[in-house]
Chain A
Amino acid sequence: MINKDLLKKLLETFGPSGNEETIREVIREEIKDYADEIKVDALGNLIAIKKGNGKKIMVASHMDEIGIMVTNIDENGFLRFTNIGGVSPFTALYQRVMFADGTMGVVGMEKLDEMKDLALSKMFIDIGANSKEEAVKRVNVGDVACFYAPFIQDGDYIMSKALDDRIGCYVAIEALKALKDCPNEVHFVFTVQEEVGLRGAKTAAYGVDPDMGIAIDVTMTGDTPKAKTMDVKMGKGTAIKIKDRSVLAHPTVKKLMIETAKENNIPYQLEILDAGGTDSGAIHLTKSGVPSGVISVPCRYVHSPSEMVSVKDVESSIELLVKVLEK
């Protein structure tokens, strides 16, 4: 059964890259009774340790989401902004944004002759202020906002902002709770700054120094009308990564995941992602190298305020992670 309250909290909480304080506290509160030790490192990664005598396994899911940063406030109170992570101007247009203190705004654009000329530099945020003086009472240069879109779950699908990668955080949290006879020492790391270049995972992996790394993240799908060819479908099970731009899943980790899925009749699909990367990209290059793989949740409309995943895929991802960790 899906924990709807937890999901809603994880998905709706503010946390663009570099601004993970609030989401970190939400996660810490949720896991504190299940971990043997919890710490936060210099970059802000949350590390929860479940002790064991076997292998040291690092599980990474990133807490941060894409967002925007205010760069200028004009005389009339309109805010200019830049992206934090992969924000498309076409996706951002007329979306609502939310600042850390709850201030809301909408993304507008200058008059353009051709829509293809749309760029973030020609866009602005309107927080309903009438002047610069009024605007700076609520928002200042350097302030950060995330996209605002309430969480929806209906039947098998979930629709929300930040499923990338709060759904990975959810999978890790539920796996931590479900772990029973785990022979291994598992370091659940809720990483920062994945969206700007896997930065949190890099320092966390250095500190943890694991024997194996598993990232939990979303992946794209090829199942929408005239989609780019990709053999992953929403609702057809958890996805075991073969490769993306940041990592080639290590043969031993890939094999472990596939065999575990087969043994436990967990629906799975193999994932080859053309673009994009995830925390395993940083983890596997740490120190002398760390065999690493990825469990992905198939997700449509990634980096939009309406990302979509299947509840069944989330459940099979949790099950696979638990069984792999207990092996």
Chain B
Amino acid sequence: MLLKRLTDACGMPGGEGEVREIIIEEIKPYVDDIKIDRLGNVIATKNGKPGYPKVMIAAHMDEVGLMVKSIDDGGFIKFAQAGGLDERILVSKPVLVGKNKIQGVIGAKAIHLQEKDERETPLKTKQLYIDIGAKSKEDTEKLVKLGDYVAFDSEYVEFGNNLIKAKALDDRAGCAALIETLKHNYDVTIVAAFTVQEEIGLRGATVAAYNINPDIALVLEGTLCSDVSNVPEQSYITKMGDGPAISLMDSRTLFPKNLAKRIFDLAVKNGVDIQYRLPSSGGNDAGAIHTTREGIPCAAISVPCRYIHSPSCVMSKDDFEGLKKVIKLFLEDIKEGEYIRD
């Protein structure tokens, strides 16, 4: 299954190779051209009819994770963060280190040995280490080198009411939806950008958008969903099961209302569940794309993901199906000459 393959693969910012290979293999039969640009973005073009706009659709390949920073005398690995992680969730998580996916676990001093104030403050990254079961520094160095990426070891699992638990749903859910989108034919020309380095500052999208220079852009994402215990309703951002979410505003983009509303209304008219993603901090590739060159109208549609940026992201398969439907509806709704800039 595509989503399982994509989420089980590892791709930290700057190390998206494994994900890139899967994507290229999947989309090859359905597109007219595939390029990998100098930063590593996959740019795939599917030609439409003349007179129709060029639509860039972006989904980022990278996920948040860790990077090997040093190895101590005991063979334990100190690490840095690659992308925005809540360090309180790190302790005791199983991880995979480097290209060969060496198994390890994030360790810390046992509770029995902690002083009272240590027990009361969450563990910081600098107090944690990765234990790969090595005996010494030399032993670890045989398998791991500085700069190796570290991914969470967390399998794709289906559970509950049509839900999925996996790592990296942000943004492999978007990648999967984009791959599926490319399997259909449209009047518009689609330039799919599977971008790199979103989690560390929208870097791949910055150069991809400049290069593609589209008439309009769509960003597909896994996004915040905080519809959980002890959170007031106004802070939910999105609600799981209420359909894909259209962005209004985040810390990087004010989305054009007419475009967001058009997509929203189109979904409603066709009986597809949809919701607005409420303003919150954080940003996505749209932040880089919409200010490219002379400006590009941009919409972002996301699958709500609980526990995002953790090894156990949770999303609803129904919302994911809804995302695919909404993209297709919108692409088919674009008329000849629309959005085309002179």
A residues adjacent to B (C-beta < 8 A)? 17-19, 41-43, 45, 69, 71-72, 74, 80, 82, 84, 121, 141-142, 193, 196-197, 199-200, 202-204, 206-207
- Contact residues in A for B295 (Cβ distance below 8 Å): 41-43, 45, 200, 203-204, 207
Q: Is the CB of B291 within 8 A of A71?
A: no
| Cα–Cα, bound, A203→B291 (Å) | 6
Question: In the complex, are the beta carbons of B279 and A69 less than 8 A apart?
Answer: yes
Additional A-B contacts beyond A18-B254, A41-B294 (16; CB < 8 A): A18-B249, A18-B256, A42-B295, A43-B291, A43-B295, A71-B278, A72-B278, A74-B234, A80-B234, A82-B249, A82-B278, A141-B276, A141-B278, A142-B260, A200-B295, A203-B292
Closest chain A residue to B237, Cβ basis: A71
Are A69's CB and B248's CB within 8 A?
Answer: yes
- Note all chain A residues with C-beta closer than 8 A to B254: 17-18, 84, 193, 196, 199
Q: Give Cα distance in the complex from A207 to B213, angstroms.
A: 13
CA distance A25 to B45 in the complex (A): 38
Instruction: Give me 13 A-to-B residue pairs in the complex whose CB atoms sit less than 8 angstroms apart, sorted by A's number.
Output: A18-B257, A41-B294, A42-B296, A43-B290, A43-B291, A71-B234, A72-B234, A72-B278, A142-B276, A199-B291, A200-B295, A203-B295, A206-B293
Is B297 interfacial (CB 8 A cutoff)? yes
Contact A84 B291 (CB under 8 A): no
- Cβ–Cβ contact B278 & A203, under 8 A: no
Give the residues in chain B near A196, CB-CB below 8 Å: 254
Interface pair B291/A202, CB less than 8 Å apart:
yes
Give the interface residue-count category, chain B. Answer: 20 to 34
Q: What residues of chain A lie closer than 8 Å to B276, measured between beta carbons? A: 141-142
B233 contacts A72, CB within 8 Å?
yes
Q: Please, which residues of chain A bring their CB within 8 A of the CB of B297?
A: 42
Q: Is B341 an interface residue (CB 8 A)?
A: yes
Could you tell me the distance between the alpha carbons of A206 and B296 in the complex, rounded to whole angstroms? 12
> In the complex, which residue of chain B has the Cβ closest to the Cβ of A198?
B291
**Nearest chain A CB to B221 CB, angstrom units:** 18
* Chain B interface helix/strand/loop/mixed: loop
B residues near A19, Cβ cutoff 8 Å: 257
The contact string, 1 if C-beta is below 8 Å from chain A, for chain B 231-255, is 0011100000000000011001011
The 3 closest A-B pairs by CB, nearest first: A18-B254, A72-B234, A203-B295
- A277 to chain B: closest CB distance in Å? 15
How far, in angstroms, from A82 to B251 measured CA to CA in the complex? 11
Residues of A within 8 A of B252 (CB): 197
Known: A18-B254, A71-B278, A84-B249. A203 touches B293 (CB 8 A): yes
Interface string of B113-142 (1 = CB under 8 A from A): 000000000000000000000000000000
Please, which residue of chain A has its CB at the minimum distance from the CB of B281? Answer: A82
Q: In the complex, A80→B95 CA distance in Å? A: 40
List B contacts of A42 (CB < 8 A): 294-297, 341
- Distance A80 CA – B233 CA, assembled complex (angstroms): 10
Distance of A196 Cα from B293 Cα, bound (Å): 18
What is the CA–CA distance of A43 and B248 in the complex, to the nearest angstrom?
15
Q: Is the CB of B290 within 8 A of A142?
A: no
**Considering the chains assembled together, what is the distance between the CA atoms of A17 and B234 in angstroms?**
22
A202 to B296, CA, bound (A): 12
Central interface residue in A18, A19, A41, A142, by most chain B CB within 10 Å: A142
Alpha-carbon distance between A45 and B297 when the two chains are bound, in angstroms: 13
Bound form: Cα–Cα A72–B279 in Å: 10
Q: Which residues of B contact A199 (CB under 8 A)?
A: 254, 290-291
Q: In whole Å, how far is B342's beta carbon from the nearest beta carbon of chain A?
A: 10
CB pair B234–A203 under 8 Å, yes or no, is no
Q: With a CB–CB cut-off of 8 A, which chain B residues contact A207?
A: 293-295
Q: In the complex, which residues 12-68 of chain B have their Cβ closer than 8 Å to any Cβ of chain A?
A: none
Please tell me which one of the listed residues A18, A80, A193, A203 contacts residue B294 in the complex, with CB atoms under 8 A apart: A203
Q: Which residues of B contact A142 (CB under 8 A)?
A: 248, 257, 260, 276
Residues of A within 8 A of B278 (CB): 71-72, 82, 141
In the complex, chain B residues 248-286 whose Cβ is within 8 Å of any chain A Cβ: 248-249, 252, 254-257, 260, 276, 278-280
CB closest residue in chain A, given B260: A142
Q: Which residues in B have their C-beta under 8 angstroms from that of A74? A: 233-234
Q: Which chain A residues lie closer than 8 Å to B260 at the CB level?
A: 142
Q: Mark B286-322, 1 if CB is under 8 A from A, else 0.
A: 0000111111110000000000000000000000000
In the bound complex, residues from chain B placing their C-beta under 8 Å from that of A41 are 294-295
Task: Tell me, rounded to whole Å, the shortest Cβ–Cβ distance linking A22 to chain B.
Answer: 13
The docked-state distance in angstroms from the alpha carbon of A84 to that of B280 is 11
